[in-house]
Amino acid sequence: MNGEWLIRGRDGRLSVYLTSVDTVLCRAERTRGGPWGPPRAVGGDQKVRPDSAVGQGADEYAHLASWRPTAAGEAVLMHSAHFRPLLAALDWTPIGHPNKKGDRTGTPAVAVDSRGRAHVFVRNVGTGISMVAQKEKGGWDPWRDLKGQGVQGPPVAVTGESGCVEAYAAVQGAVLYWRQTEPGTVPVRQEPLEAAVRPGTLRALATSPEHTTLFFTDDDSGDVCAWRPGAKPVALLAAAGPGPVAAVRCELDGHDCTLLAQRSSNGRVAFAAYPTEEEAAGAWWTESGPPLPDDAVVALTKDHEDRVVAASLSPSTGRLLVTRRKDEPGLALRAWQEV
């Protein structure tokens, strides 16, 4: 799943979204902090592709987007909303194609604005980015071509604390960036960042009322970098592994911190924390848990008690491991458990 696939629902239960051959699945806690239920299909019985995305709004509802094949060489993007982890999600509904018709063009990204409207971003046939957004009173606006060219890998989308939606995409030698000037408007392309960005490593996190921080791996140095538009990127620390980092803001010993997690090259989960937006303070990796399969991905969130929760998921095996922060100083974690 592209996006934060481990989320806390409105009722405080944790859930994870994962893909199979022709559906999106959800697993959720039966009770807050308790045992987990089995996987359940999302969006009814329509078949959808694995290259799917999830986003969550301030109302803590989840919005999902995925491609559904309609004919040979033809596909349409679909949308579903999930209001509670233990309830059934809404049936998949079509939201069109960025080029009106054709095959799937890339993995989508989803952000949900402060009014609960989903915004779906996806690469188009021209290798730029297109977007479609929900109307406030139902239905969808027309597809918008946000321009750009040469997009590599999936885009990422995020809603800032201001309620404005932002999107980022990697191209050769740069990051393209779009931002709403105010909630409900069409995102406008901003000045790109010139950087050697490794495709598939973008992760965005709202870090203050004014800023969103984009994390990416520099393809030349191998460093995880942090960038806030309007400033220069900062090399934070060497990447622990090849994939994107997971990121969450949390309180550690009374300080507002940003916690990163990444599957390391030797297979374990590596964690690093630093004071939010203070990259100069430095950060370093600490590894945890058992070795994971090569395809394992990592996610972070906070539970109903605002404790940090980390999860790892192997798509090939379906193995889900979860850990929580202990009630003690620092970032001490409980033993990883398979659920």
Q: Return the HEC string of the chain.
A: CECCCEEECCCCCEEEEEECCCCEEEEEECCCCCCECCCEECCCCCCCCCCCEEEECCCCCEEEEEEEEEECCEEEEEEEEECCCCCCCCCCEEEECCCCCCCCCCCCEEEECCCCCEEEEEECCCCCEEEEEECCCCCECCCEECCCCCCEEEEEEEECCCCCEEEEEEECCEEEEEECCCCCCCCEECCCEECCECCCCCEEEECCCCCEEEEEEECCCCEEEEECCCCCCEEEEECCCCCCCEEEEEEECCEEEEEEEEECCCCCEEEEEEECCCHHHCCCCEEECCCCCCCCEEEEEECCCCCEEEEEEECCCCEEEEEEECCCCCCCECCCEEC
What are the C-alpha distances in Å from 324 to residues 11, 289, 328? 18, 12, 12
Beta bridge partners of 174: 171, 194
CA 182/CA 156 separation, integer angstroms: 19
| 116 found inside a domain | no
Q: Is residue 314 part of a domain?
A: yes
Q: 250 forms bridges with which residues in the sheet? A: 257
In a domain, 255, yes or no: yes
Question: pLDDT digit of tens for each residue in the chain (339 aa)?
Answer: 999 999 999 999 999 999 988 999 999 999 999 999 999 999 998 999 999 999 999 999 999 999 999 999 999 999 999 999 889 999 999 999 999 999 999 999 999 998 999 999 999 999 999 999 999 888 999 999 999 999 999 999 999 999 999 999 999 999 999 999 998 899 999 999 999 999 999 999 999 999 999 999 999 999 999 999 999 999 999 999 999 999 999 999 999 999 999 999 999 999 999 999 999 999 999 999 999 999 999 999 999 999 999 999 998 888 999 999 998 888 899 999 999
* Residue 78, in any domain of the structure: no
In a domain, 241, yes or no: no
Range of the domain at 292: 246-339
Report yes or no on 27 lying in a domain.
no
Task: Report yes or no: 289 and 321 within 8 Å, Cβ to Cβ.
Answer: yes
Query: Taking the model in full, what pTM does it have?
Result: 0.96
Pairing assessment for the beta strands 40-41 and 203-206 based on DSSP bridges:
unpaired
Give a yes or no: residue 258 inside a domain: yes
Q: How many domains does the chain have?
A: 1
User: Residue 178 domain-assigned?
Assistant: no
Q: pLDDT, tens digit, for every residue of 130-172?
A: 999 999 888 999 999 999 999 999 999 999 999 999 999 999 9
Tokens of 77: 């993007």
- Please list, residue by residue across 142-164, b when 16 or more beta carbons sit within 10 angstroms of its beta carbon and e when fewer do: ebbebebeebebbbbbbbbebeb
Q: What is the pLDDT of residues 29-85, one digit of tens each?
A: 999 999 999 999 999 989 999 999 999 999 999 999 999 999 999 999 999 999 998
Q: What are phi and psi of 37, to 5 degrees?
A: -90, 175
